[in-house]
Amino acid sequence: MFDDKLPVCIVNPQSAGGKTGKRWPRLRCELEQYLGEIDVVLTGGEGDAVSLARRAAQRNVKLIVVVGGDGTVNEVVNGVMRVPGRPEQLTLGILPAGTGSDLARSLGIPSNSSEALRIFSEGRQKVVDVGKIEFLALQAERSCRYFLNIASLGLEGIVDKKVREMSKFLSGKLAYLAASVAALATFRPKEVVLRSGDVEFRRTILNVSVANGRFFGGGMQIAPTASLDDGLFEVVVVRGAPLWRLAGALRSLYDGTIYETDRVEHYRLRSLEVRSANGQKVCLGIDGEPVGELPVRFSLVPGALRVLVSG
């Protein structure tokens, strides 16, 4: 299906509420100015990018370009990570074209497509860690997924579901803000047990984010000191609180001062297990996509992928 001598471009035309499909002909012309001839495949639905990326890696393709949002990039990462013995030089290039595109922010890739295209001429390769997560999927089956940016449980798992609905008529920050307000109106804090190694503790939480990157929610800095290549997760625990106390925390998500908020704890860990303390359902989201619920186990695969970033 793929020529291993050509870059493969996996495009989600439905990302950003369908705007990517309309913009793609122009983007393709611009991309070919940087890369020359490319193999292009369009996704038609959920899971397509996983199988397409797997086939590209199996064919020893050296560069996979992803045109879409965080969900599309996550699918490509999952396809690549499921290929044992994939070529060491395989590199991902990301053209942000989604509702949030928070991974691109964490990697320092500009949101403007013309500026982002420069990574293919002026960028550099960055070796990054990949998160691995084992959890209870929506179909009540045990599942394993990989992620590059952030996985969250609690409130954010609900927000991810609502963003899917709202992104049809709102974009970027507006979609996430509207979804967050709607979720907060009905969400009740959850009792969970967190365990890392021999240390176990119980918390009443609004949200727990297990972060490889820094941003989620269309530009919110949930983990301002997280790094994609340090071999550690930044685990951010937001404890339950009255709504009026959370207003300040919302502001701090945009100015990078979330760790100064009194209802927030953060830890640097290589692995983490979380379960419900009382059997309540606790939702889970990965890179902006709702995927399942607790119990869950997080671990890290250090230096697993190469990604193009700004020079």
**Whole-structure pTM value:** 0.92
Instruction: Provide the mean pLDDT of the chain.
Output: 90
Cis, bond preceding 295 (omega within 30 deg of 0): yes
| From-to residues of CATH 3.40.50.10330 in the chain | 8-98
pLDDT for residue 57 is more than 90:
yes
Tokens of 141: 């089956």
Judged by DSSP in three states, 183 sits in helix
CATH architecture for the domain at 8-98 = 3-Layer(aba) Sandwich (3.40)
CA distance 212 to 223: 8
| From-to residues of CATH 2.60.200.40 in the chain | 131-302
- Each residue's pLDDT tens digit, 112-126: 888 999 999 999 999
Q: Tell me the residue type at 75.
A: E
CATH classification code of 131-302: 2.60.200.40
pLDDT for residue 110 is more than 80:
yes
DSSP code per residue over 249-302: HHHHHHHT-GGGSTTEEEEEESEEEEEESSS---EEEETTEEEEEEEEEEEEEE
pLDDT for residue 250 is more than 80:
no
pLDDT for residue 219 is more than 90:
no
